[in-house]
Amino acid sequence: MDKHLLIDLVTKKMPFGKYKNRLICDLPEHYLVWFRSQGFPEGKLGLWLETMYEIQLNGLTHLIDEIKRIHRAS
């Protein structure tokens, strides 16, 4: 997985909707599941949302927490 993609997950914010301005990595699981059922948007946002969905689905959120911690420290 591209490290730049993971950094995007902890630095980029949701641009619209109920969770506007929330970091992609902090979106609730039910919201990502909803996008999965409706279809992820095109472009980078869709890639970020789908990646975050897969991370949560596979129980890998501890990796995102570590990246978030490292990124904030730098």
52 CB-near residues (< 8 Å, 6+ apart) = 9, 24, 25, 27, 32, 64
pLDDT digits (tens, 9 = 90+) for 3-43: 899 999 999 999 999 999 999 999 999 999 999 999 999 99
CA distances in angstroms from 68 to 6, 18, 38, listed in the order given: 9, 23, 28
pTM for the model stands at 0.91
Tell whether the model's pLDDT for residue 1 goes beyond 80: no
